Structure 1
């Protein structure tokens, strides 16, 4: 057992150490290098793989570990106001502050490696003189309010017992004798309604309850007054250039994924920007291998500024990128740090994208374009401008329901191909349903096959497609498949020999797929499986056309002797569009063709709440072949013209439950099996 324990005194080689470090996550490597300075050289030589790297004004988040730097203000004499205490709890002020505790809304000089993202909004800068006047006015108002509250408390404490139960708001129940004189009898009854009396009692407070409310108001007023006085003193010292009230520190806070918080404080002798640059360079600087980052983000607050301080000469391999600020400008500034500046981003996110950014190649080439928290852009105009097929919109300005219809029209006309999607977040179920109704209304004029293709390529709009009536010119169902307008849908069985020679009958059948179910030896099954709700029996197979298996085997013995037990089968789905385009899919032959037909028909026509309108519907079978039409259970069709094979009267009876207007005569009725007795059928 002891022989199996490694030599504790034996050191890892440099190469082995690098291999071990590759297995560690980024934040653990930083901690390890900090505790063991001897391995820093090896740690810097191993590539970093970062899942998510997000920069903000407060600091940055690397994977699930947060690094924050902020300024802490400590009052030299007297208690600190809650504003400053609260900032200390959350890592300190995220912006530099002057010696009087006011924010500095500007940046120090940029250095190599810095990326300017967004400047401060100048409209949010404070006017010192105006702020001093406003604070003095607020002080006077709050002092008067506190005096009035304390006076009210004293009066209530010394008031006689009979005023104990007075209304909280006396004006609400103060009805003088003159008021009661003018009340009609009916109105007097209403006034004495028990419910109204009960509500009046609820408004009456005891002396104790009133004192409690007043005490709470006094505490709040004193707190607010202390803050105003403190703020006024800061303003006065700044105006008169007097000594500061504060001592300052920079606080570094690191929060691990498990909630562990590490805090360190330093003298505030450099700007926060310089402190952040030092921290970033300590973690990421002097690395020769390119760092791979799945998602990189630069996010500023609204109206706030942001500069990202990176080590000079750093190279990053970035898959997804998100940023605040002017998108085109930031993309240009970030380009020097990218290892592959010409490679499109998988995901590009912006909270400030403008119409002119749509012409930027990096925007156009992004696989998915995400608009986040964007309040100023016209989404309709933007989606027309950008070439991206995949767009996600969330937060920000919500689109109106009518705009969704316009968006769908543009999508169909310009980008309506498989793989296109717009994902838009809408708050509230009612708004979502209203938007979907507008989308649905714009589908009414779209050709059927385009609707099916669009719903198949964009699963998120299938609800809208199902809610809009289908207008079908011609639907013909036969043994080979069905034809919807000018598009053919076919299902057939394909036989593959395991090896060797394939008989000609199989080769010919495989060209289009065998129209009927077959057994494992490739012989046709001339019967139907069990019917299910929605199935319409049209015509049975002619039993005289059945095949004697022994005779068939004898006739084709030369061809089948070696092959009949070595066949595997696949189902083949073929869709032929009106322009000649052919789409083919193959599946394992683990269900009957009839089940496969039912699935296909239900996929296109099932779960539709509205009635499907069909100009011409036909069920056509070959003379000696069988046909069962598989329709979705409960489907309703508005059919103008009808044609069928089989026993006409029986088929008309079976088809009646699916007709929206079963008693309405057909405009045209066609049959290839009409008999004399059918002449008495009312529908004929």
Structure 2
């Protein structure tokens, strides 16, 4: 029999701030007496990620979506079943079943628009012109089904019919007969079952038009679904669709972060989208260790100031994953002051060398395809570092995808710069300022190879010179 005694109030008060926040949620739910104490103490989060209709807290993801709940035994259209299986759509729905955008201009107290004035892609508006296109598809697939039934199913493809560009043929400027002929040629490769499922999908797209025209009810009930995914498994909760998804997101994040005193700490904060509104509770304040952004820093980092304490700066680690950033974006003061800067894609320029040389952060990790920074350019970059006055501890890591070999790079810098092999994939060479430059090549096994070529990390690090080591 265990002699362990339950923790007292003071002990719990000391322990709770250091517990994983998901465990605190669970304890507060199971032990209502802890709720008051839990809300008095700030939380420490290893990771918080904000996305459209989704929030991840450490290793638990909370995702909201709109699902279509059909009656028992109903033959659910394939696309609707797939959307339901994936947790629902991240868009609201009109009373007749049309998709409706999450209106970003509806900003409530506490909300953070991370890119004010920018357009949200794929706004979900349905134009009446689509009705004609859907009706054409229904007619074409009905003809395909009749032809397939005449021909028989052998041999035929039982896979689901994807779009693959063929479905768009009925909407482009070709002669009507040619459009339909090309579509039928593609569709008739598939079985009767596959064609029938695709036909039902297009009929389902017409349902909102019919419901609006005849003021008839939808064949399903829209429901808000919360999907909670964690290492322990997945739990699904459904709620009546009596609020907009943005309102449900606000309520969810208030449950996760609201009504708690103090300034919380987030070790790694991830803003997954370049343009979105984060629905946060009023008074939510944090300090941030590491940050990942997908948009322009002058917008994303400025918006962050509304809930991040000034003590978060300079940022310890900043990751920039945006695909269309400009060189000027990396010149933003809070980017330049980050201790470690991770660049996922880099600016769209012909020559990356001047850009990489311009980065003055203590540690830089640059990820790109090897075609953007070939071996000779890598050698030039090593030469630039050797001739520089960089201080001990400065690092640059190049994560190069699709690199055939590191032998050429290592042999070139060993011969040209009087380097010594520390081991097979490391060369150490003297710098002009008396320090040494250590270049290490590490094969990345956590990334899939490209065209049977390996992925490598080329690490350049300034280390003490021989005299300093002896001293």
Which string of whole-angstrom CA distances, capped at 9 and with x for unpartnered residues, describes residues 474-510 of structure 1?
A: xxxxxxxxxxxxxxxxxxxxxxxxxxxxxxxxxxxxx
**1:368 maps onto 2:340 in alignment:** yes
Distance 1:451 1:83 in 2: 58
Distance 1:70 1:374 in 2: 33
2:256 equivalent in structure 1: 283
Shift of 1:330: 0.9
Secondary structure of the structure 2 residue equivalent to 1:141: helix
Gap change, CA 1:297 and 1:43, over 3 Å in 2: same
1:104 equivalent in structure 2: 101
2:313 equivalent in structure 1: 343
2:13 equivalent in structure 1: 18
Gap change, CA 1:223 and 1:462, over 3 Å in 2: closer
Which string of whole-angstrom CA distances, capped at 9 and with x for unpartnered residues, describes residues 306-339 of structure 1?
A: 2212222222121101112222211111123222
Distance 1:147 1:343 in 2: 67
Gap change, CA 1:441 and 1:235, over 3 Å in 2: farther
2:360 equivalent in structure 1: 387
Matched residue count:
403
Distance 2:349 2:112 in 1: 25
Distance 1:21 1:56 in 2: 28
1:265 equivalent in structure 2: 238
**1:325 maps onto 2:305 in alignment:** no
Decide which of 280, 295, 303 is 2:268's aligned counterpart.
295
Which string of whole-angstrom CA distances, capped at 9 and with x for unpartnered residues, describes residues 556-585 of structure 1?
A: xxxxxxxxxxxxxxxxx994xxxxxx5243
Decide which of 55, 62, 70 is 1:67's aligned counterpart.
62
- Counterparts of 1:478-627 in structure 2, within 5 Å, are 575=466, 582-585=467-470
Secondary structure of the structure 2 residue equivalent to 1:325: coil
2:460 equivalent in structure 1: none
**Maintained 8 Å contact 2:65/2:91:** yes
Shift of 1:117: 2.9
Greater RCO, CA 8 A, separation 6+: 2
CA-based RMSD: 3.8
Decide which of 438, 451, 460 is 1:458's aligned counterpart.
438
Give the structure with higher Rg (CA): 1
**1:248 maps onto 2:216 in alignment:** no
Distance 2:147 2:203 in 1: 19
**Maintained 8 Å contact 2:386/2:437:** no
Shift of 1:242: 5.8
Unaligned 5+ segments in structure 2 are: 156-186, 421-426, 444-463
Distance 2:153 2:227 in 1: 49
1:141 equivalent in structure 2: 140
Which string of whole-angstrom CA distances, capped at 9 and with x for unpartnered residues, describes residues 399-431 of structure 1?
A: 24255455445555557554333323333342x
Gap change, CA 1:126 and 1:453, over 3 Å in 2: farther
2:285 equivalent in structure 1: 315
Secondary structure of the structure 2 residue equivalent to 1:270: coil
Distance 1:574 1:394 in 2: 29
Which string of whole-angstrom CA distances, capped at 9 and with x for unpartnered residues, describes residues 52-75 of structure 1?
A: 111222412211122121111224
**Maintained 8 Å contact 2:91/2:101:** yes
Q: TM-score, normalised by structure 1?
A: 0.52
Decide which of 65, 78, 81 is 2:77's aligned counterpart.
81
**Maintained 8 Å contact 1:335/1:341:** no
Unaligned 5+ segments in structure 1 are: 157-212, 464-572, 576-581, 587-684
Q: Which moved more, 1:373-382 or 1:353-362?
A: 373-382
Distance 2:239 2:470 in 1: 67
Distance 2:191 2:263 in 1: 60
Gap change, CA 1:229 and 1:409, over 3 Å in 2: farther
Shift of 1:127: 5.8
1:567 equivalent in structure 2: none
Which string of whole-angstrom CA distances, capped at 9 and with x for unpartnered residues, describes residues 636-658 of structure 1?
A: xxxxxxxxxxxxxxxxxxxxxxx
Shift of 1:269: 1.7
| Structure 1 runs (4+) greater than 6 angstroms displaced | 447-451
**Maintained 8 Å contact 2:153/2:191:** no
**1:49 maps onto 2:44 in alignment:** yes
Distance 1:403 1:574 in 2: 25
Secondary structure of the structure 2 residue equivalent to 1:369: strand
Distance 1:115 1:247 in 2: 32
Which string of whole-angstrom CA distances, capped at 9 and with x for unpartnered residues, describes residues 603-623 of structure 1?
A: xxxxxxxxxxxxxxxxxxxxx
Shift of 1:370: 0.9
**Maintained 8 Å contact 2:365/2:397:** yes
Distance 1:97 1:383 in 2: 47
1:422 equivalent in structure 2: 396
**1:221 maps onto 2:195 in alignment:** yes
Shift of 1:355: 1.3
Distance 2:369 2:278 in 1: 24
Distance 2:271 2:215 in 1: 37
Shift of 1:131: 2.5
Secondary structure of the structure 2 residue equivalent to 1:66: strand
Secondary structure of the structure 1 residue equivalent to 2:430: helix
Distance 1:27 1:154 in 2: 53
1:190 equivalent in structure 2: none
Distance 1:396 1:418 in 2: 28
Gap change, CA 1:377 and 1:136, over 3 Å in 2: farther
Gap change, CA 1:154 and 1:37, over 3 Å in 2: closer
**Maintained 8 Å contact 1:358/1:382:** no
Which string of whole-angstrom CA distances, capped at 9 and with x for unpartnered residues, describes residues 502-529 of structure 1?
A: xxxxxxxxxxxxxxxxxxxxxxxxxxxx
Secondary structure of the structure 2 residue equivalent to 1:388: coil
